[in-house]
Structure 1
Amino acid sequence: MYLEHFGLTSLPFTLTPDTHYFYELTPHAEALEVLNAALDGGEGIIKVVGEVGTGKTLLCRKVMNQLASHYTGLFLPNPYLSAYEIRQAIATCLKLKMGNEANQANLTQAIERRLALLHQHGKKLVLFIDEAQALPDETLEAIRLFTNIETEKNKLIQVVLFGQPELDQRLKQSKLRQLQQRVVFSYALRPLTLAETKLYIQHRLKVSGYQGEPLFNANTVKLIWQASRGIPRLLNILCHKALIVSYGKGEHFIPNTSVQSAIEDTENVRRYPLWPKWLYLLVPLVIFECYVVFAWLRGAA
């Protein structure tokens, strides 16, 4: 590939949520702070929402990697779980040996006993659920009931929901209002700004071993930011493709043409740069002038 050509030791713009590349830009740093504060505070349900590709899974893995030793973390990447299946997953995480014939009531009782035992040893379970907007209603209700497991002072299980904005819409439904009321802390991940995009690209290149003048200049960064709308996953795709195009041409820096080629080859991006701000002001003026001229010609006739 282009690693040797650009002096890189690893691919800088892969889509795998690798915490080695995590960079605490404002939205992700704030989300991380909210999550850590909520977990330390013992809150039952915590929610993080964001558009597709804004870095929710990477953030989830970062939090899990930083969990203190008194936490036991369980990550569920597949949201299509029934209430029974999520109980089984928790039981497995807690190393409970329950036969396949165990019903939901037995599973719940065994989980409650094990969580109480963990609490006596100063430990607590944290359940991380990705793509939570796709959870069935019965599973969301089971999660709410699990947060009822508590002592007089402490929750014995904490839940962190990561989902797309549709999760907020679902929680507004009347049938899920009890779960919504249990969400004490919430954070909405936003896309990156132009300045953050520049830092993001530089950081990933640096982590990948790049040393030298910036590969992407101010113009190419702006093109990538406009096309990607500041969404990290799309940023990665465009930067990766632009590097491939420039490598194929033998170029050691990324020109606008390589970025434009990457944009044309990628779906779900803005294919044309945004109009300059002055143009938005000019259009109404031109329309007004045309109207004046038309009125004058009409009067003259």
Structure 2
Amino acid sequence: MSNPRTTVVVVTWRGREHVTACLDALARQRPHRTLVLDNASDDGTAGLVAAHPSRPEVLRLPVNRGYAGGLAAALPGITTEYVAWLNDDATPEDGWLAALEDALDATPDAAAASATLLLADGSTQSVGVRLTADGHGADLVTAGREVFGFCGGAALLRREALVRAGGVPAAFFCYYEDTDTAWRLRLAGHRVLSVGEARVHHRHGASTEPGSRPFHRWNERNRLLTLLRCAPARTALRELAGFAAITALLPVRRTRPDAANFHVPLRLRVLLEVLLRLPITAIQRWRIGRRATVDRRVVWREWAGR
């Protein structure tokens, strides 16, 4: 393959049941480099990847660093113009990569393009990410050409813009690495596109269990860390204080939701992890602010609650 423009990074962990379908689909895309980041799988995934006829490159980590950690570990070895993020349980339709590359080629001020993720029943899981009024990153199922952020399960980014914006937040482990990255790209003055014709079939939750305690821990913690890193200070502190206040009041409420993210021990763990990270998060916030060309308040006013 001569001078591919894109490196597709497939982060896998115990992906034996689905990684072959992902690699089969990638073999039918426009020429590119495929890099499988194996998060210390112990279920035979490594053998399947090594035996695949497309012969993808493999970077195997000694421990599981999660989706964010895997992407961050892969980034220094990537020199192509574009880098694609792809879940190992995602199967792109033919033309997926071409549609994403063409969209970014046609829009020089866009730094990321989000694909359309479809669930097993054919319904739409995501065409991008919106920013809620309380700072959550939430999947959009209908959107115009431009969106606040991209869904990290299947997206294409300009490598140079990603690196200049600070790369991937490896410490997030998984969840919100896409929303945090979109925040930083927008602070740097870039746009994010939604490319409807770039379609991917996604076995949602094949590697992690939505609704589980780890799922809610990572979601709640990383939402707060994203806001502390990227959002206006008033907004970030308001959401952190609100999370702490709800946690304090839950034990005295007569009724409370049964969801794991309303369990007091989990919320206390989230608060502890956020508080322990405050010094490094403050440094990261300062660095992000130094690189920014757009005020945090401008991004918030334009996109929050849309």
Which has the bigger relative contact order, CA under 8 A and spacing at least 6?
1
Length-normalised TM-score, structure 1? 0.22
Give the TM-score, by structure 2 length.
Answer: 0.21
Greater fraction of residues in strand: 2
Structure having the larger proportion of residues in helix:
1
